[in-house]
Structures are given as C-alpha cells and as structure tokens.
C-alpha cells in the first residue's frame, strides 16, 4: 500500500515566498520585512504572484517527502521531473529476497490475470534467490526483477516544481499510480502552505486550459460552464 509522508519543509512557506518577492522592491532587508508583513498582506501577495505567473520566488521553499509502497513503474515516471532531488532504495545494495509487488487494479479485478501475475512474480523470486545464493551479484540478478517490484524513495521539490508536477500528474490522463501519489502529496502540502497551493492541480483547474487535445476527459468544458453560470449569478 502506498505511504506518503511530508518529512520536512521550509518553515512558513507562504510568508517566505511573500517576503522574498517584497524584498525586490523594498529598501529594507528580508529579516525586517518578515516581521512587518501581516498575514493578510502575505496571502494577497502570494496570490498575486501566482496569478501573474511571477513564480521564481516560489523556488525559495522546498518540501521533502518519504514515499513507500510504490512500483518502479511510478518512480521511472517521477524522476523525469528534473528540477528535484531523489534518493531511491538501491537494488544493487539491498537484496530483494522477499520483494513485494504492486498489483494494478485492472489485474486485481480479474482472478485469472491476478493468478498469472502472482505465479510469474513467484517464479522470478525463485530465480533471483537461486542466482544470488549461487554467487551471482545482486546488481546482476536484479535484471530479472519486474517493474512491479515495490520501492522506496525520498523526493525534494521546490514549490514551483511541485506546482508543475501537480499540473501534469493530477490530471485524469496521468497514469493511475502516479496520479494517486500526486493527489496525496498535494493534500499534504496544502496543510502547511494553503495559499501557495490554493489553486494547484491539473491545468483545467489551475489555469482553465487543457493540453490533452482530442484525448481530453472533458472536465475543462464543465468547469468553464460552471464559471459562466457563477458569473451570470453575480450579474443578476
């Protein structure tokens, strides 16, 4: 089962971003600005920065997650997000004598497929154990391990990178496992940085745009209709 924990983050992330942005236009220093800005001013400035797309100051705050119970299918996708730091459990140094697997829901729902999956993974485990016990280095025996093998990883991203990550991976078109991870990460960062991530999520929600073309899920049209209805109510 997937487990995600926000281990560390920059203290008062919303305030740190606001202070950094205000410094660019202030004759006083950052330390003094930090004490002079009210919570209302912080919230207003962070929202304005997001609306204007001036998000370079979002890079001053970072978030570190411990992620467990996920497949290497997921982590192969995750590490494609380049502006981040990763430390993953090594199959070279950690022997997989009793590896766990992540079973996709579509296979779990089909008894025959589930059995074939489990039988194959059991066969792989037997071969892996046989080879390593015969002296084959773990770094070579791992070549037989499946993408379904469970792994653990620590990830650090700044707020700007996280917002981009959420735009791509919270989308309904994203692969199911990394989408579940993205939504859980978003839930946790919202608890500590509610203004920064107030409008975070897929682009249809954050920017009212969809880049999926003909493969769009159709949610954007519904959101635009809701916006139009709300605007009409305000005018009435």
Q: Which positions are catalytic?
A: 169
Q: Which long-range contacts (CB under 8 A, 24 or more apart) does 129-138 make?
A: 129/97, 132/95, 132/97, 138/91, 138/92, 138/93, 138/94, 138/95, 138/96
CA distance 2 to 224: 34
Measure Cα distances from 35 to 10, 20, 22, 24, 194 in Å.
Answer: 17, 13, 12, 16, 20
């Amino acid at each position: 089962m997937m487990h995600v924990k926000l281990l560390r983050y920059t203290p008062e992330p919303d305030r740190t971003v606001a202070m950094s942005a205000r410094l660019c236009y202030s004759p006083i220093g950052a330390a003094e600005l930090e004490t002079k800005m009210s919570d209302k001013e912080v919230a207003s400035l962070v929202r304005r920065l997001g609306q204007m797309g001036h998000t370079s100051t979002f890079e001053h705050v970072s978030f570190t997650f411990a992620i467990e119970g996920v497949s290497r299918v997921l982590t192969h996708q995750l590490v494609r997000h380049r502006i981040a730091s990763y430390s993953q459990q090594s199959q070279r140094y950690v022997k997989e004598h009793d590896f766990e697997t992540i079973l996709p829901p579509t296979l779990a729902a089909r008894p025959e497929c589930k059995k074939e999956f489990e039988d194959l993974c059991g066969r792989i485990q037997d071969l892996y154990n046989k080879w390593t016990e015969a002296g084959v280095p773990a770094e070579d025996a791992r070549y037989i391990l499946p993408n379904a093998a469970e792994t653990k990883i620590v990830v650090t991203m700044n707020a700007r990178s996280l917002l981009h990550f959420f735009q791509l991976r919270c989308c309904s078109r994203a692969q199911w496992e990394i989408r579940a991870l993205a939504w859980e990460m978003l839930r946790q960062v919202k608890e500590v940085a509610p203004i920064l991530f107030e409008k975070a999520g897929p682009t249809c929600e954050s920017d009212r745009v969809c880049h999926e073309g003909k493969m769009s899920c159709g949610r954007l049209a519904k959101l635009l209709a809701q916006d139009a209805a709300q605007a009409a109510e305000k005018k009435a």
